[in-house]
Structure 1
Amino acid sequence: MDDNKLVESFSEFAKSKNIDRPTVIRILEDVFRAVILNKFGHSDNVDIIINLDKGDLQIWRFREIVDDHAPEVNAPTKVSLTEARKIEADFEVGEELSEEIKVPDFGRRAILSAKQIFMQKVRELEKAALYNKYEQLVGGLIVAEVGQILSREIIVLDDENNELFLPKSEQIFKDHFKKGERIGAVIHKVEFNNAIPRVILSRTSPLFLERLLENEIPEIQDGLIAIRKIVREPGARAKVAVESFDDRIDPVGTCIGIKGSRIHGITKELQYENIDIINYTDNLELYIARALSPACINRVEQRTERVCVYLDADQVALAIGKGGQNIKLAGRLIGKEIDVYRDIPNHLEGNDIPLSEFSGTIEPWILEELYKIGLETARSVLALSKEMLDQRVDLEQETIDEIYAILNHALNG
Structure 2
Amino acid sequence: MERISDIIESIANEKGLDINEVKERVKRALINTAKRVYGENYEYDVQIDSSKNVKLFQKISIVANDDERLQEDNEHFISIKEAKSIDSGVDIGDELTYELSLDNLGRTAAQTLHKELEFHIQRLVEEQIFNKYSQLEGQIVFGTVVRVDEAENTFVEIDELRAVLSRKNRIKGEIFKVGDVVKAVIRKVYADKKLGIKVELSRTSPRFLDALLKAEVPEIKDGYIIIHDSARIPGERAKVAIISTTPNIDPVGATVGTKGVRINAVSKELNGENIDVIEYSAEPMIFITRAMSPAIISSVKIEDKKAIVNLMSEQKSKAIGKSGINIRLASMLTGYEIELNEIDSNKKSNNNDMAKDLKALFGDL
Counterpart CA distance in 2 for 1:49 and 1:224 is 52
Counterpart CA distance in 1 for 2:247 and 2:26 is 63
**Amino acid across the alignment from 1:131:** F
Determine helix, strand or coil for the equivalent of 2:281: coil
Q: For residue 91 of structure 2, what is the aligned residue in structure 1? A: none
Per-residue Cα deviation, 1:71-120 (whole angstroms, up to 9, x for no partner): 87994479xxxxxxxxxxxxxxx6699877352x2121221111111101
Q: For the structure 1 residues 98 and 323, does the alpha-carbon distance in structure 2 shift closer, same or farther, using more than 3 Å as the test?
A: closer
**Amino acid across the alignment from 2:294:** P
Tell me the matched-pair count: 322
Per-residue Cα deviation, 1:202-224 (whole angstroms, up to 9, x for no partner): 22221211121122112223332
Q: For the structure 1 residues 316 and 44, does the alpha-carbon distance in structure 2 shift closer, same or farther, using more than 3 Å as the test?
A: closer
Contact 1:228 1:241 in 2 (8 A): yes
Counterpart CA distance in 2 for 1:262 and 1:47 is 59
Contact 2:172 2:234 in 1 (8 A): yes
Per-residue Cα deviation, 1:169-220 (whole angstroms, up to 9, x for no partner): 2222233223333322222222232363322222222121112112211222
> How much has 1:288 moved relative to structure 2?
3.6
Q: For the structure 1 residues 152 and 274, does the alpha-carbon distance in structure 2 shift closer, same or farther, using more than 3 Å as the test?
A: same
Q: Does 2:310 align with 1:309? A: yes
Q: For the structure 1 residues 222 and 14, does the alpha-carbon distance in structure 2 shift closer, same or farther, using more than 3 Å as the test?
A: closer
Q: Does 2:24 align with 1:26? A: yes
> How much has 1:348 moved relative to structure 2?
11
Contact 1:257 1:263 in 2 (8 A): yes
Q: For residue 158 of structure 2, what is the aligned residue in structure 1? A: 158
**Amino acid across the alignment from 1:31:** A
Q: For residue 175 of structure 1, what is the aligned residue in structure 2? A: 174
Counterpart CA distance in 2 for 1:215 and 1:336 is 30
**Amino acid across the alignment from 1:310:** L
Per-residue Cα deviation, 1:294-321 (whole angstroms, up to 9, x for no partner): 2334x235241131332233x3322221
Contact 2:189 2:197 in 1 (8 A): yes
Q: For the structure 1 residues 253 and 74, does the alpha-carbon distance in structure 2 shift closer, same or farther, using more than 3 Å as the test?
A: closer
Counterpart CA distance in 1 for 2:260 and 2:28 is 61
Q: For residue 326 of structure 2, what is the aligned residue in structure 1? A: 326
Counterpart CA distance in 2 for 1:73 and 1:348 is 99
Counterpart CA distance in 2 for 1:52 and 1:181 is 51
Q: For the structure 1 residues 175 and 100, does the alpha-carbon distance in structure 2 shift closer, same or farther, using more than 3 Å as the test?
A: same
TM-score, normalised on structure 2?
A: 0.74
Bigger mean CA deviation after superposition, 220-229 or 271-280: 220-229
Q: For the structure 1 residues 58 and 308, does the alpha-carbon distance in structure 2 shift closer, same or farther, using more than 3 Å as the test?
A: closer
Bigger mean CA deviation after superposition, 302-311 or 325-334: 302-311
Any gaps of 5 or more consecutive residues in structure 1? Answer: 64-70, 79-93, 350-413
> How much has 1:323 moved relative to structure 2?
0.9
Determine helix, strand or coil for the equivalent of 2:246: coil
Q: For residue 65 of structure 2, what is the aligned residue in structure 1? A: none
Root-mean-square deviation (CA, aligned residues, Å) is 3.7
Any gaps of 5 or more consecutive residues in structure 2? Answer: 61-69, 78-84, 88-96, 350-365
> How much has 1:281 moved relative to structure 2?
3.2
**Amino acid across the alignment from 2:126:** K
> How much has 1:253 moved relative to structure 2?
1.5
Q: For the structure 1 residues 77 and 47, does the alpha-carbon distance in structure 2 shift closer, same or farther, using more than 3 Å as the test?
A: farther
> How much has 1:139 moved relative to structure 2?
2.5
Counterpart CA distance in 2 for 1:239 and 1:46 is 60
Describe how 1:139-150 pairs up with structure 2 within 5 A: 139-150=138-149
Q: For the structure 1 residues 9 and 283, does the alpha-carbon distance in structure 2 shift closer, same or farther, using more than 3 Å as the test?
A: closer
Question: Percentage identity across aligned positions?
Answer: 31
Determine helix, strand or coil for the equivalent of 2:178: coil
